[in-house]
Amino acid sequence: MDWMSVLQFAVHLVSAALMLTGAGIVLAGAVGVIRLPDFYTRMHAAGMTDTLGAELIILGLILQAGFTLVSVKLALLGLIIFLTSPTATHAVANAAYRSGLKPLLRRWRSDENREDAA
Residues that bind other proteins (CB under 8 A): 25, 28-29, 31-32, 35-36, 38, 40-41, 43-45, 47-49, 51-52, 69, 72-73, 76, 82-83, 85-87, 89-90, 93-94, 97-98, 103-111
CB of 84 to other proteins, least distance (A): 9
CB of 67 to other proteins, least distance (A): 13
Q: CB nearer to other proteins: give 7 or 102.
A: 102
CB of 32 to other proteins, least distance (A): 4
- The residues, any chain, with a CB within 8 Å of residue 10's CB and separated by 6 or more, are none
- Distance between CA atoms of residues 17 and 101, nearest Å: 40
Chain CA centroid to CA 10, Å? 25
CB of 102 to other proteins, least distance (A): 10
Q: CB nearer to other proteins: give 48 or 64.
A: 48
- Distance between CA atoms of residues 65 and 74, nearest Å: 9
- Distance between CA atoms of residues 14 and 24, nearest Å: 15
Q: CB nearer to other proteins: give 8 or 113.
A: 113
Angle between helices 39-65 and 3-35 (to 10 degrees): 170
Give the type of residue at 36: L
